[in-house]
Amino acid sequence: ATPTALLVGTGRGAQLGVLIKGPEILEETRRVDTVVLDKTGTVTQGRMALVDVVPAPGEDAAQVLQLAGAVEALAEHPVARAVAAAAAERRTAPEPVATGADGVPVGSDEVREFRADAGHGVSGVVRTAHSGVGLARRVLVGRAGWLADQGVDVATVTAAVDAAEHDGATAVVAAWDGRARGVLVLRDPVKPTSAAAVAELRSLGLRPVLLTGDNRGAALAAARAVGIADEDVLAQVLPADKVAHVERLQASGARVAMVGDGVNDAAALATADLGLAMGTGTDVAIEAADLTLVRGDLAAAPQAIRLARRTLRVIR
């Protein structure tokens, strides 16, 4: 291999918006035959929008959104950003700054003991002082199954969760005092370039697989929108299990490229034969990857593979 040709390849890569960690990575880029795609932020925009709040019987949708938003304001997941933004937006005009009887400013929420559980949800103790009397509540927002595991009664909201998921949405449940209080329904459209990029990857002989922590309904909707077969969809995969899925594919003889953007993708990116990070993603993902798609556009993935194949043909 002549170093000059390799440098030409990597230089062209930079023009295409692909950053490569080193020229030796071109070899693996050429050889991969399976491409595992993270859903949220890779195939989809990763900017979720809250489209509905379904209160449990007897609950108030505005309060569900407000308390869920208070906790999610401290988290970074796309679900959290959408819920916090909607809560901030829909909040009634700022109330006059005053101090309640307990010293908490009226109209503001204070969150203590915040915890984020990757792939599951968040919790925190929220003190609201709307009436001037502070009330502390342990609020949980996350997957219905995760709440149920913690003893929360989710029976009153399972129908709403199932309906939203069946419809291709992401549904998280807000709960306090041991009971589900409402369902937050979110949507995350696929990026306009994702379907063409998946078709390109396929035309290069790669088999696309969708891997996500999200529910099966949302995963299938995204997969169908970009032309990935239902049997190649792996949904509700915990962050730690993303690695296991990559290893399973490798054990079956596949040479696996993984494309992702999140903290929860980093280990799988490092395990894959070739890791590709979205440039719009987290630093952890970029550090774990071999290649970075600078513009966060999946279309650069097939371009990088084509370039690697062409470059190595020149060298040989």
Could you list the residues that contact ligand ADP (CB under 6 A)? Answer: 38-40, 72, 75, 77, 79-80, 119-122, 141-143, 170, 172, 212-214, 239, 262, 264
Q: How far is the CB of 116 from ligand ADP (least distance, A)?
A: 6
Position 188 contacts Mg ion (CB under 5 A)? no
The only residue of 30, 32, 35, 41 in contact with Mg ion, by rule CB under 5 A: 41
Q: Is 149 an active-site residue?
A: no
d(CA 302, CA 227): 15
User: What, of ligand ADP, Mg ion, none, does residue 212 touch, CB below 5 to 8 Å by kind?
Assistant: ligand ADP
The DSSP annotation for the chain comes to: --HHHHHHHHHHHHHHTEEES-TTHHHHHHH--EEEEEIIIIIB-S--EEEEEEEPTT--HHHHHHHHHHHHTT--SHHHHHHHHHHHHHS-SPPPP-B-TTSSBTT-EEEEEEEEETTTEEEEEEEE-TTSS-EEEEEEEE-HHHHHHTT-B-TTTHHHHHHHHHTT-EEEEEEETTEEEEEEEEE-PBPTTHHHHHHHHHHTTPEEEEE-SS-HHHHHHHHHHHT--GGGEE-S--HHHHHHHHHHHHHTT--EEEEE-SGGGHHHHHHSSEEEEETTS-HHHHHH-SEEETT--TTHHHHHHHHHHHHHHHH-
Stretch that binds Mg ion, among 33-41, 184-192, 218-226, 268-276 (CB under 5 A): 33-41
Cβ at position 261, least distance to Mg ion in Å:
5
Question: How near is the Cβ of 21 to Mg ion at its closest, in Å?
Answer: 21
State which residue, 13 or 41, has the beta carbon closest to Mg ion.
Answer: 41
Residue 290 site contact among ligand ADP, Mg ion, none (CB < 5 to 8 Å, cut-off depends on kind): none
Residue 40 touching Mg ion (CB under 5 A): yes
38, 109, 214, 273: the active-site residue: 38
Residue 120 binds what, of ligand ADP, Mg ion, none (CB under 5 to 8 Å, by partner type)? ligand ADP
Give the residue nearest to ligand ADP (CB): 213
Q: Candidates 38, 72, 109, 214: give the one binding Mg ion (CB under 5 A).
A: 38
By a kind-dependent CB cut-off of 5 to 8 A, residue 261 interacts, out of Mg ion, ligand ADP, none, with Mg ion
x/- mask, Mg ion, residues 254-283, rule CB under 5 A, reads: -------xx---------------------
What is the rounded CA–CA span in Å between residue 212 and residue 217?
Answer: 11
Interface residues with Mg ion (CB under 5 A) are 38, 40-41, 261-262
Q: Could you list the active site residues? A: 38
